[in-house]
Structure 1
Amino acid sequence: MTRLAESCDYAFAQSNYTPQRLWEFFEGNRSRFNIAHECVDRHAVDPARLAVRVAHADGRDELITFRSIAETSSRIAHWLRSRGIVAGDRVAVMLDPSLPFYAAMFGAMKCGAIAVPLFTLFGPEGVRLRVADCSPRVLLVNTEKAPTAVGIEGTETVVVDSEFVEALAAFPTEYQPDTEADDLALFQYTSGTTRELPAAVKHTHRSIVVLMLAALYGTGIRPGDEFFCPSSPAWGHGLAHGTLAPLAMGVTTGTYAGRFDAIRLMRALQDYGITNLSSASTHYRMMRTSGAAKQFRFAIRKLSYTGEPIDAETLRFIDETFGVPACSMYGTTEVGVALVNYPGASDFVVKPGSLGKAVPGLEVQVQRPDGTPAPPNEIGEIRLLRRGEWVPTKDLGRVDEDGYFYHAGRADDVIISAGWTMSAVEIEDVLMQHPDVCEAAAIGVPDPVRGQVVKAFVVSPRPGDETFTRDLQDFTRERLSQHEYPRQVAFVTELPKTPAGKINRKAIRDAEAAFRVTA
């Protein structure tokens, strides 16, 4: 194993990291490279070596070895070739985490096709929009989702059932990949709304090399870890950080399949002896609000989160429940992981709520609109230096005097009221500290006097009345400033979320705008 994996410490990373050393994790080179070989086949020598633990919502535990993925993915590679699939063809996979999912995804990449993981909870329109965008030759689905996907013109829909599995037995269990490092391997869709579908983010086989930065310093994966990431592998976090990165290092990973339940997750963390957990912020909130965490015993030594900031109350829950710092990992699907908190580093102080510092070898700044660096604690846009140019992230943030970065929301989450600039994230964080608030989202709405005012949408078991509204307004104003509070409060039963579990403020803004038009 490469020297970079010998320590988690911050100083060690700064003094030992070079881009060239990331290649030491792999057998391929800058010319010939295949993700399926690197993540699966080379680790399959030991037939009992465990690759994935799947905690199914119904209580089942599915244990999948590297050998079983290697053999089944080889059979699928041969099967795809037998159906005329050639290098560069897209193969969409809409299956829950399971042996068929991993075998199909790696089998597609093994034979030179491009794997396209799709979220199993997509409805017909969500599936059709993505299929129309990537034009797969084959779409693999389970029996339950088949009615959603059948009948898409130009795409053959194949149901992965017992009959399909039996047919695979006729194909060989070995397949020799033959791909170049710069061949396309994966199309990944972000968790945007289906009304504004983003184009697929396209990854080559060699892209997994840079991904090791996130594994080393964002999730802190090291050989010997018992790793778990409950995020769906159809999305960036679950695919890149929860699947490809740990498997490439030969580390057993864990995931969740089915309708999410916080108690089922915590039981899996206990039963699997998980030592390294990387999850979406929403999962930690749901564990907290379940009220059941004290029923379980945990062995977690490293813990990370991504997707959106975690509110202060949930950070306290993490500290009390797991006894390790909550390490944020920040990046975008397009540019990768940029800011981390170095989980497991004995010489790195994790500041609660911060995004941490840059991964080794990357320069990150908070900049003013004119491109100059913002001074400490001034909000600007987070930008990354890539190939000599500053790349915008469309995220706002600030840097403190010690060089730690903090998130201040998306650029379109800024609320400007009577000349005051306010962060939706900060307002939400304070609202979440109120003992009667389960979830909260803040947006700016038009106001004839102030231009915009803050409107908060609150989920609470407490009845939403004028008294509760004033209570929340006073609670926020006392903790932020006299002008920084929600002048309007709406009480709702739930907040819209993206498929990846983030609060979907855009959906809230759109619904609010539509309501104002019809009101």
Structure 2
Amino acid sequence: MTVVLHDLLPADLRRSWVVDGTCPDLDLYSLFRARQITDLHRTAILDAKGKLCYTALDRKVRCLATALRDLGIRPGDVVGVQLPNGRHAVIADLALAALGAVALPFPVGRGSLEAECLLRRAEAVAVIAAVEHRGNHHAADLRTLAPALPSLRHVIAAGPGNTPEGTIPLSELLRSDPSGFVPARPDPDSAVRILVSSGSEAEPKMVAYSHNALAGGRGNFLASLIPDRTPPRCLFLVPLASAFGSNGTGVALARHGGTLILLDHFTPEAALDAVREHQPTHILGVPTMVRMMLDRLDGTGEKLPAPTALILGGSALDETTAEHAASAFGCPVVNLYGSADGVNCHTGLGSATPDADSQGVVAGRPDPRVADIRITDTETHEQLPDGGIGEIVARGPMTPMCYVGSPELDARYRTPDGWVRTGDLGFLDGDGILHIVGRLKDVVIRGGANISPAEVERELATHPFVCDVVCIGIPDAVMGERLAACVVSRAADSLTLEVLCEHLTERGLERRKHPERLLVVDELPLTPAGKPDRAALRVRMTEISRPGATKEVPLGQAS
């Protein structure tokens, strides 16, 4: 049985974006093939194995597509992909698109319980996974899960090492004869990829995207940051398997004919080496990653090759980080507001850094060729006038089809006419600029009073000794929750809670919003998707806050 993926957008609206040229109306593999024919020997991928040109990549894609077809993979089938950044991940993306199948990528490092949940709900018929990556043995783990997944017929093992028993070596499939392969040419408005959202649900949300939504809507986002239309050289610091990383194969490569510069694991040292050696035009990452890179550059005086843009998303970008990054990288810093659920807005190339704003994070002017944005009342859902703070809703060419296997999420987060309810709070000013204020759910409730962690993070980030910060709520028997700040410090001496709270007072933040716990860490832990791992920080902070708990904190210090 194949999972049903229906489109919640009106069909005539979806087709109108094809008629006016907003979406290309071609499937991803056809777009890639057109790029390959145009420039046979352009470099498609730079990874740990070296260079791979478009023609060599296309042959590998056809080999894998042939082999997957022979295994019984059919149009509409969902295939999981758990691979690190590298050529195998891109080959899998394009081969599945060429078959008319649907890729379900999720980052390496995610545990077997989450993988089982994703594959079961998506009714995946196969999964391609790494034999080993940084101590994880995903292929073997997924093979163990197979008996509990009635739809799963094949586990394909990629990479060096001994192929686990019961799995199929990817290397064997890549030796298939591609000469007789004929691409499926699926409907461009049919599903091609499922994005996994790391949102606030108990289980990860899965969101189905069509070829047009990915290459068209999301492709228009990247097009707005390529001023001369030259094929970009994109350094992806985030996993290609993440929602942010979905701008890799289908957008930078297939839509824009660019080059993907890929690291199989992010470290600030490896990222800086890639900037020096490969001179990317666009660097895509989260603010925490860039702060780590800036820390390594601090005091060196090194001048890096200047890209066209540094594109930062996934978490809030503060003014201090933006200014330091613009100086170090010598280019505009683009603040990207976006999510797997179907919203995108950014600050563009017009200035070196995003404008500061005391009322919230400035997210830029919405682009209707990507996603139109409105603000609605959180209770009545009526559209609000400019300046009114409410829930951000989005609809446009990048809008996904539906949530996968979750009709309750469709009912909760999609309106009858297809708008996506983001759960984010914001407003549009008189100039049509979007400002992000916080989240409907992301609040700490202390003694009945609501505190926005995002607001406190913004103010703490202005302290000269704060390199990076995440604020979280931790359970408390008396107040219900208390606010804790997890901070990476620039200071030689440890920061104290008193010093930070004095700074917040000077910034005008009322006392009830001040953090009551402090954890000082060397670096913020990251999730497999590359975002700050709030859950890990919450567990650690909760442990050390228990009565009688040890005050020895391996990650740093607690106050």
1:474 to 493, 498, 502: 502
Q: Which runs of 5+ in 1 are unaligned?
A: 1-17
Cα distance between partner residues in 1 of 2:76 and 2:395: 31
1:473 CA displacement: 0.7
Supply the distance in 1 between the matched residues of 2:234 and 2:543 (Cα, whole angstroms): 44
Partner of 1:259: 265
8 A contact 1:226–1:251 mirrored in 2: no
Counterpart pick for 2:158 among 144, 150, 160: 160
User: Aligned match of 1:106 in 94, 97, 119?
Assistant: 94
SS of match in other structure, 1:150 = helix
2:103–2:194 CA contact under 8 A, matched in 1: yes
The one-letter amino acid paired with 1:437 is V
CA distance in 1, matches of 2:176, 2:478: 73
- The residue aligned with 2:320 is 313
Alignment match, 2:394:
384
Q: Select the residue among 35, 43, 48 that pairs with 1:50.
A: 43
Amino acid paired to 1:39? F
Q: Work out the CA distance in 2 between the residues paired with 1:446 and 1:164.
A: 46
3-state SS of paired residue (2:487): strand
Change (3 A) 1:393 1:237: same
TM-score, with length taken from structure 1:
0.81
Structure 2 residue runs without a partner (length 5+): 1-15, 161-168, 397-415, 549-559
CA distance in 2, matches of 1:495, 1:269: 22
- Per the alignment, residue 466 of structure 2 pairs with 437
Question: Match for residue 124 of structure 1?
Answer: 112
The answer to whether the 8 Å contact 1:366/1:399 transfers is yes
CA positional deviation for 1:169: 2.8
Greater Cα shift, 283-292 or 260-269: 283-292
Identity across matched positions, percent: 23
For 1:247, the aligned partner's letter is: L
Out of 352, 362, 367, which is 1:354 matched to? 362
Q: Does 1:34 align with 2:33?
A: no
Stretch deviating more after TM superposition (287-296 or 266-275): 287-296
Change in Cα spacing, 1:142 to 1:174, as seen in structure 2 (3 Å) is farther
Correspondence for 2:440 = 411
Q: Deviations over 1:213-272 (max 9, x none)?
A: 212236768324333222111011112x23311112343233332331112212212222
Matches within 5 A, 1:415-430: 415=444, 422-430=451-459
Match of 1:209 in 2: 216
Structure 1 residue 25: deviation in Å?
Answer: 7.2
C-alpha distance in 2 between matches for 1:384 and 1:285: 30
- Give the secondary structure class of the aligned counterpart of 1:288: helix
> What's the CA shift string for 1:141-179, capped at 9, x where partnerless?
233133332222244222235774355334125632122
Amino acid at match of 2:355: K
Task: Tell me: CA distance 1:487–1:248, structure 2 relative to 1, closer, same or farther (3 Å).
Answer: closer
Tell me the residue number matched to 1:502: 531
Deviations 1:417-475 (A, max 9, x none): 6887643222112223334334322235678998765332334476998x822111101
Structure-1 separation of matches of 2:120 and 2:475: 37
Distance of 1:420 and 1:201 partners within structure 2 = 33
1:180 aligns with 2:173: no
Counterpart residue identity of residue 51, structure 1: A
What is the SS of the residue equivalent to 1:395?
Answer: strand
Q: Is the 8 A contact 1:414 1:423 kept in 2?
A: yes
Count of residues in Structure 1 that have an aligned counterpart in Structure 2? 486
SS of the residue aligned with 2:441?
helix
Q: Is the aligned partner of 1:304 residue 2:311?
A: yes
Shift of 1:314: 0.8
Residues 23-70 of structure 1 show CA distances to partners (whole Å, capped at 9, x for unaligned) of 4774xx4xxx4312212454245431111222x4xxxx6222111221
Per the alignment, in what secondary structure is the counterpart of residue 188 of structure 2? coil
Question: RMSD across aligned C-alpha pairs, in angstroms?
Answer: 3.5
**In the alignment, structure 1 residue 458 sits paired with structure 2 residue 458:** no
Pair 1:134 & 2:122 matched: yes
In the alignment, the residues of structure 2 paired with residue 375 and residue 480 of structure 1 have an alpha-carbon distance, to the nearest angstrom, of: 28
| Structure 1 residue corresponding to 2:236, chosen from 198, 221, 229 | 229
- SS in structure 2 of the partner of residue 498 of structure 1: coil
Give, in whole Å, the separation in 2 of the partners of 1:487 and 1:349: 28
Which secondary structure does the structure 2 equivalent of 1:412 belong to? Answer: coil
SS at match of 2:426: strand
Taking a change above 3 Å as real, the CA distance of residues 416 and 367 of structure 1, as seen in their structure-2 partners, is farther
